[in-house]
Structure 1
């Protein structure tokens, strides 16, 4: 297991460097298996029944993320693009009007958020659920990634890394309040001076300073939590069904660990707690306290995982 986890850590450390983390496959899109790459084993039926579908989970995450978007920040970016379009049409009056609107919105943001560096202007929530459920298949795919990297075939490595995901990816674009309003004022000054090309270049450069923040919600951890909740609900009525849900939870935790969403020590602790709950149920003993601790610890691990952020710039 230590060798397996070390191999996975080596691969996922390269994720950002190879550019696989921010982009990836759209929902419903399955990557083609390149020649020479072993086929993943057929997914086992390990998803907990009666749980939310991945698309339902994505929609819930999107509703939550959309609530963080600031409409004034959205207008700042929209008016910046309107100004660029007007400059391209050689419509100076329209460009200046767009910049005035953008600057006005930016000033409102500064007044309302004097201590905030970044204001969300848009969000994209995408489901990536292409990872194998079987640890042997994950190991084979990981080995294929490492082999591709050793051959410097980074394009193939990106494709293979994209297929090692089971997550809801939330990408938020943020206006940097410290610099963006300055760029708007400079572009307006250049326009007034008749330096249209320089004004357009200033606006294009400003758009590249938008800060992209990516975070991922691991689907195996959501499924494990749903399965544990179902097991607890059934523990006093249908022991066999409760044990089946706990088996699902264990499989999901193992997948989360193999895919790098869960640290080895936390994964070991959670799976041990699942085993303890199973033992109590097998002996027809009260497992309420065991379930309460398991759900609390898994909730903490899930919160820590989903709070991890990776930043980049819109301009690369």
Structure 2
């Protein structure tokens, strides 16, 4: 499994997540070996644009002043820990200025994004082989061999977890000013505790995004674009579209086996993909692709969820 933890504090966030997964698409060989199952961590090239878009959309919501306010608070606490009260006071004064700017810019917003982190677990294998591993784990569990089953299932995760840290504008600015007041009063220890409390006010939410679904979406997008390729013969285009849609179904099957969503939701997607095969390069193609896209969008909205 390819696991990366990526922190975004600048415009390089999208580049970072792409670099972490920038490997060419490969098809796993059939094997029962757990080592072989976990060895295929390649990411389809088609999914990179989707990943870039995911991170870029979230980063656009980050206010530079919010980022600087959080890092400034952290640095002020570090200064207090070394008894540098003068530096801590100056830092908190700057933080208060940044927060006043945010309050003026966004008077009706309760939470303002300050940072994005992405943790990626990319397990990519043939869906049939993964199902075989799940079945083996089921057998082990029935035999009460829980730890053996855990070993088999431990790597069966393929998702991006995007965590956004936000400043609560209703409480954070006042708490920072209170900590600064304690420093002015020479109450260093109380100021430290106050800054710990300030940082605990930060709101963190994590969005869980199944990678196989993103990869399936990218493959289907590529297939859809082939409908409009004027430099390809229709038969050649049809063959390529069928290969891409079949690959997309396998990615969705992998997501289903890994437990991302309910079986009935996947059935609607499989049916929508199968409809494409009957209308390639016909007048019904555009409407059928639109139906598939809307079905996939509804599915994504249902399974991609946010939690604390």
TM-score (norm 2): 0.73
- State how far apart, in whole Å, the 1-side matches of 2:205 and 2:90 are: 30
Structure 2: runs of 5+ lacking an equivalent:
6-19, 22-31, 228-233
Aligned twin of 1:187: 179
- State how far apart, in whole Å, the 2-side matches of 1:237 and 1:93 are: 74
1:77 to 70, 80, 87: 70
1:159–1:108 distance in 2 versus 1, CA, 3 Å: farther
**More relative contact order in 1 or in 2 (CA 8 Å, sep 6+)?**
1
Contact kept, 8 Å, 1:62 with 1:124, in 2: the verdict is no
- After superposition, the C-alpha distances for 1:199-245 in whole angstroms (9 at most, x for unaligned) are 01110122122111111333222222232233344454422222222
Aligned twin of 2:223: 231
Contact kept, 8 Å, 2:38 with 2:123, in 1: the verdict is no
- State how far apart, in whole Å, the 2-side matches of 1:257 and 1:167 are: 13
SS at match of 1:68: coil
- After superposition, the C-alpha distances for 1:136-165 in whole angstroms (9 at most, x for unaligned) are 525635875995xx8897xx969955x223
Contact kept, 8 Å, 1:38 with 1:140, in 2: the verdict is no
- State how far apart, in whole Å, the 2-side matches of 1:279 and 1:183 are: 63
- State how far apart, in whole Å, the 1-side matches of 2:145 and 2:194 are: 40
- After superposition, the C-alpha distances for 1:112-152 in whole angstroms (9 at most, x for unaligned) are 223322111111234321254425525635875995xx889
The answer to whether the aligner puts 1:111 opposite 2:109 as a matched pair is no
CA apart distance, 1:92: 2.1
CA apart distance, 1:42: 4.1
**What is the 5 A alignment of 1:260-299?**
260-280=259-279, 287-299=285-297
**What is the 5 A alignment of 1:83-232?**
83-138=76-131, 140-141=133-134, 144=137, 147=141, 160-161=153-154, 163-232=155-224
1:52 to 17, 36, 46: 46
Contact kept, 8 Å, 2:67 with 2:114, in 1: the verdict is yes
CA apart distance, 1:173: 0.9
CA apart distance, 1:268: 0.5
CA apart distance, 1:269: 0.6
CA apart distance, 1:44: 11
Give the alignment's Cα RMSD to 1 decimal. Answer: 3.6
- State how far apart, in whole Å, the 2-side matches of 1:192 and 1:220 are: 54
- State how far apart, in whole Å, the 2-side matches of 1:159 and 1:268 are: 27
CA apart distance, 1:94: 1.8
Contact kept, 8 Å, 1:132 with 1:164, in 2: the verdict is no
The answer to whether the aligner puts 1:310 opposite 2:304 as a matched pair is no
The count of residues paired between Structure 1 and Structure 2 equals 270
CA apart distance, 1:190: 1.6
CA apart distance, 1:57: 4.2
Structure 1: runs of 5+ lacking an equivalent:
1-23, 29-36, 312-316
TM-score (norm 1): 0.71
Contact kept, 8 Å, 1:80 with 1:203, in 2: the verdict is yes
CA apart distance, 1:251: 0.9
Contact kept, 8 Å, 2:124 with 2:158, in 1: the verdict is yes
Aligned twin of 1:4: none
- State how far apart, in whole Å, the 2-side matches of 1:176 and 1:182 are: 11
